[in-house]
Amino acid sequence: MNRDLKYERLRSPRTLSDAFGPYAKLHVEPEKTPLRAYVWMVVWGVGIGAIWYVITAIKAGAL
């Protein structure tokens, strides 16, 4: 078996069209309002921070 052929089958896609096919919709619609994206960012940040705080407190024996 040819070495190049072996590696050709295992190669990763180089473009999005290679990865998803020629008919894939690769366009992402922007957020309607930047404020909405900012609010989601803050909500996720606070949520992750709160979970991290609780887990750390439990491991430290404070809760």
d(CA 1, CA 7) in angstroms, rounded, equals: 11
Q: pLDDT band for 49, please (50, 70, 90 cuts).
A: very high
Residue 47's pLDDT is: 98
User: Would you say 54 and 63 are in contact if contact means Cβ atoms under 8 Å apart?
Assistant: yes
Task: Indicate yes or no: pTM above 0.75.
Answer: no
Q: What does the pLDDT look like over 9-43, one tens digit per residue?
A: 666 777 777 778 878 777 778 777 889 889 999 99
Domain that holds residue 39: 3-60
Q: How many domains does the chain have?
A: 1
